[in-house]
A and B are shown apart, each in its own frame.
Chain A
Amino acid sequence: MKALDIALKDMLRSFRSFFAVIFMFVIPLLVTGMFYFMFGNIADSGEFSLPKTKVIVANMDKGGPKFNVNTKNIPGGKDADTMGELIVGILESDDMADLIVVAHASSPAAARAAVDNQTQQVAIIIPLDFSKKFADINEDAAIEFYQDPTLTIGPSVIRAILNRFTDGMASVKIAVNVFMDEAQPEEQIYVGEVVQRYLKISLAEEDDLEAELLDVRTPVKEDAAAKSENLLVRIVGPIMGGMMIFYAFYTGTSTGQSILREEEERTMPRLFTTPTSQATILSGKFLSVFMTVSVQVIVLLVVAKYLFGINWGDILPVTISALGIIFSASSFGIFVNSLLKDTRQSGVIFGGVLTVTGMVGMINTFSGNMPNSAQFGDVSLLVPQGWAVLGLTQSMNGQPIASLLTTMSVLLAWGVVFFTVGVWRFNKRYA
């Protein structure tokens, strides 16, 4: 009971602090709100589009074993005798017209030169033997992608399109290889049908390029409002999640600082003169950190849901994610403060530790569409904030509970280590 009294007293003090409230609630919502209104205006205007990327294609492909392709399944529906033509056909399709302007070069050198002199932004060079190599199970077929290094978004879009295409083609190739390995000699004449089926699946049905690209570009006419809202939420949701996690860790550390502050205010020694055990006093202090972070996370989740319409996921996953964030942020705060002598040290430590770990943990939030974002994602997992972001993202994306629990297990392990070390150090300090 006394531990709860201590915790409630600390919470009262925290929530009375103007700056604490600003940092706990206002700034995360404000930052997210800025993004919300920025992207909201764009989405509402129906004019959210990327500038068209100038692409020059040098299609040198001389062809190879011909696939039996039903061109109606290919976006653009153009005839294609070679793999190179297929790619060019996709790039020149009507669906891509809002994104790219395609020009043709007679040679790879001419294409590269066009990028070098900045008349074009991206050069796609399809080599002579692309189709041939693609058809050969022992060869790797590659397209050269040459871009203006000062640009990021446009080339990223083109790269994404090509990756989707080549991934689809690669799956066709794998299917053919498996079929040829396992089919009886008399059955191998059906390889064309296999190719046809997998092309259909890869290019037209499952990988719905058209739909996916439209999501990126602009809302469609029928339910424009709903689509723009979805787009907005998908942009703002991860930002709000990242902000919430960053400031939850800040709050954990800042609230944990009350232990040091009470030493300096001489109220901690006075507490030790009351008939209250050291274990109760420290439990109360730790409880206050957990409770304060809990209030912050719950308030932010609820307010963001109703203010920005963010869908955090189903109740169970989001609860698990929130508990993970609360436990790790609180333990982190206790741990960091246990390393400090007094609050004078905390300015530097808080600034350094929280900023660095927070930024690393949130790399994914701001680099999701950048080249090499997957590698950044791995870096973010070096800090607990990264795991917290991952868990929340999994909840938001509706991923299976098993994968969320795996993430939360790691986050729990971080928390347990932080909590154990922090408690041990504080107990030693007051022994």
Chain B
Amino acid sequence: MNNIATIEVLDLRRSFGETHAVQGVSFEVKQGEIFSLLGPNGAGKTTTISMLSCLLRPDEGDARVMGHSIRTDQMGVKSVLGVVPQEIALYEDLTARENLIFWGKMYGLRGPALKSRVNEVLEIIGLSDRAHERVGKYSGGMKRRVNIGVALLHKPQVIYMDEPTVGIDPQSRRNILDSVIALKNQGMTVLYTTHYMEESQEISDHIAIMDYGKVIASGTHEELVKLVGGKTRIDLTLNTNAENVISAWQSVEGVERVTKDEETISVLVEDSNIVLPRLFESATKHSARITSVDIREPNLESVFLHLTGRALRD
């Protein structure tokens, strides 16, 4: 990884009627790093990546991918780019090999070079022995792997991955995350979108948190965690109506913020060892009993909660 900016995004904006999906997004992705766009559904991640893939034209702003402008040099952008879309975008009535051959041709590969690269990619995605089967017969995880394989065919310098682990089993998810790290190790620049905080935390060199079409925070995992000042999140559930307890807890010394998501109450605190007994005491005073406690060290979830007042899973 070095300091050369592979992707430069400058004040991108895009609206759909009255909906302002992306409102002035700017960031830089350095060569050879994994850069995550983290945010809940509807945050504007896919719209941003669609503009960076030249699928959508921005209303305002521009971006450069390896020096190619998404406004004025779309073919240049597409030639250095591999895109893994959020949905499986494959021909299910063709085999994995036939799919890869076709997509390879679309990236300009021909003849022996194509054949050899298809074999390599089949090895990378671990489907060499099932390459002759139609994709429609594959499991969700296998389809995801072929979906990624297509984007690797032309050995792109930059790869976009739009929520590639949605709806798949843990084993396939692990496989995909490992392959993303492997791509980085091969020198590729990866722009990765997800709403899974753990994924982002595990693989990213740099994270931009998006909400309502804006980047609300950006930095390394450590930098972002510092934003919450090392605060701990305690998730609790109660046996009774929580409203009285929540308002009581908000005034407990050492509590920064209290939010409720369905049955779970999240409390952001300075020091859980000191504050937790106070929360029990307050609950008892209001005739409520705490039925579960989960103490979470500062993480991206806490950061999102700290910045937006909402849990990331919202």
Which positions in A face B, CB cutoff 8 Å? 2, 5, 9, 12-13, 16-17, 265-267, 269-277
Contact = CB atoms under 8 A, between A and B. Distances in A.
A273 B75 contact: no
Nearest to B82: A273
A17 B94 CA distance: 11
Contacts of A277: 75
A272 B54 contact: yes
Interface in B103-136: 103, 105-108
A62 to B, nearest CB: 80
Interface string B47-77: 0000001110000000000000000000100
A9 B89 contact: no
A289 B4 CA distance: 47
Nearest to B110: A1
A266 B81 contact: no
B105 A265 contact: no
A266 B103 CA distance: 14
B75 A275 contact: yes
Nearest to B79: A275
A266 B91 CA distance: 10
A146 B252 CA distance: 107
A265 B108 CA distance: 22
Given A9-B102, A273-B85, 13 more contacts: A5-B102, A5-B105, A9-B91, A16-B93, A265-B89, A265-B92, A266-B87, A266-B88, A267-B89, A269-B89, A273-B53, A273-B81, A275-B78
A275 B83 contact: no
B256 interface: no
Interface residues of B, number: 25
Interface in B170-194: none
B98 A273 contact: no
Given A269-B55, A273-B83, A9 B94 contact: yes
B10 interface: no
Given A274-B78, A277-B75, A13 B94 contact: yes
Given A269-B85, A269-B89, A273-B55, A12 B106 contact: no
Given A17-B93, A275-B79, A270 B85 contact: yes
Contacts, number: 56
B248 interface: no
Contacts of A16: 93
Contacts of B55: 269, 272-273
Contacts of A12: 94, 98
12 contacts: A9-B91, A9-B102, A265-B89, A266-B87, A267-B91, A272-B54, A272-B55, A273-B55, A273-B78, A274-B103, A275-B79, A275-B106
B85 A13 contact: no
Main secondary structure of the interface of B (DSSP, over half): loop
B88 to A, nearest CB: 7
Given A12-B98, A13-B93, A17-B93, A5 B106 contact: yes
B51 to A, nearest CB: 12
B90 interface: yes
A259 to B, nearest CB: 14
A270 B83 contact: yes
Most chain B beta-carbon neighbours within 10 Å: one of A5, A17, A267, A273: A273
Q: Which 6 A-B pairs have the closest CB atoms?
A: A270-B89, A266-B89, A274-B106, A275-B78, A273-B83, A275-B79
Contacts of A271: 106
B255 to A, nearest CB: 46
Contacts of A265: 89-92
Interface of B: 53-55, 75, 78-79, 81, 83, 85, 87-94, 98, 102-103, 105-108, 150
Contacts of B103: 274
A9 B101 CA distance: 10
A431 to B, nearest CB: 10
Contacts of A9: 91, 94, 102
A270 B102 CA distance: 12
Nearest to A9: B102
Contacts of B75: 275, 277
Most chain B beta-carbon neighbours within 10 Å: one of A13, A267, A277: A267
Contacts of B83: 270, 273
A266 B83 CA distance: 12
Contact of A275 (B98, B102, B107): B107
Nearest to B160: A273
Given A273-B53, A273-B78, A13 B91 contact: yes
A271 B103 CA distance: 8
A274 B93 contact: no
A266 B46 CA distance: 14
Nearest to B103: A274
Contacts of B105: 2, 5
A265 B78 CA distance: 21
A9 B93 CA distance: 11
A9 B150 CA distance: 16
A2 B104 CA distance: 11
Given A266-B85, A269-B55, A269-B85, A276 B91 contact: no
A275 B75 CA distance: 5
A265 to B, nearest CB: 7
Nearest to A14: B93
A273 B75 CA distance: 9
Most chain A beta-carbon neighbours within 10 Å: one of B54, B89, B93, B106: B106
A27 to B, nearest CB: 21
B71 to A, nearest CB: 15
B288 to A, nearest CB: 49
A104 to B, nearest CB: 72
Contacts of B91: 9, 13, 265, 267
B89 A276 contact: no
Nearest to B147: A270
A310 B163 CA distance: 58
Contacts of B81: 273
B54 A273 contact: yes
Most chain A beta-carbon neighbours within 10 Å: one of B85, B89, B103: B89
A13 B108 CA distance: 21
